[in-house]
Amino acid sequence: MNKLAMLALVFSSFSFAGECVYPDETVCKAAEQGNVLAQGKLGYFYQYGWGVEPDDAEAAKWYSKAALQGDAISQSALAGLYQKGSGVKQDYTEAAKWYLKAAEQGESSSQYYLGRLYEDGTGVKQNYAEAAKWYLKAAAQDHTTAQVRLGLLYEEGSGVGKDLSKAKEYYGKACNKGIRITCDAYEELRDKGVR
């Protein structure tokens, strides 16, 4: 075999055209061709180090590609990276934007996190009614932490009318999933005669 043929053989195993360096070439090829599921998978693999060294910047790049195509899970993951400032510059407004896109598609974790941003006034103007709206959507999908937050909002009357019965109801739902502090809150309201 001459030197030119040998060099051609060696370099044929490398891909210089694409931007994906994941060991599974089929995932890379699909992602580079715009396959939203493959792009989301690559984001996840890079975020959690499956088959590659963890790299949040690379995760953000692939999540962004899938998020722009409307993938709710990737939108939620990208929002989380912006919220934490992992692999991207921390930007709560950008986090809220991506949580909203995913929440509008029914992604329960995004509904919860968006509610939390509204409750805390982080990246968005503080708005307890808007927080309650998103917590209700997440709680309807059995999101435990949203149920806890709703219990608090109903007990305090923040963004919703004060309603101890509803507070007790949501505390009870979270208690049934083993959240001890909500069991205490539930029992306290029960002992006060709240039905």
Tokens of 174: 């979270």
- pLDDT, position 7: 32
Half-sphere exposure of 166 (CA within 13 A, CB side): 17
- pLDDT, position 21: 73
* Ramachandran quadrant class, 154 (left: phi over 0; alpha: psi -120 to 50; beta: rest): alpha
All residue ranges of the chain with pLDDT < 70 are 1-18
Q: How does pLDDT run across 97-129, given as a tens digit for each residue?
A: 999 999 999 999 999 999 999 999 999 999 999
d(CA 76, CA 107): 8
Q: Which residue, chain included where needed, has tokens 């692939």? A: 62
Q: Please state the pTM of the whole predicted model.
A: 0.86
Question: Which among 1, 52, 11 is positioned nearest to 31, based on CA atoms?
Answer: 52
- pLDDT, position 184: 95
- pLDDT, position 12: 33
* Ramachandran quadrant class, 46 (left: phi over 0; alpha: psi -120 to 50; beta: rest): alpha
- pLDDT, position 28: 86
The runs of H, that is alpha helices, within the chain are 3-12, 25-32, 36-48, 56-68, 72-84, 92-104, 108-120, 128-139, 144-156, 164-175, 180-191
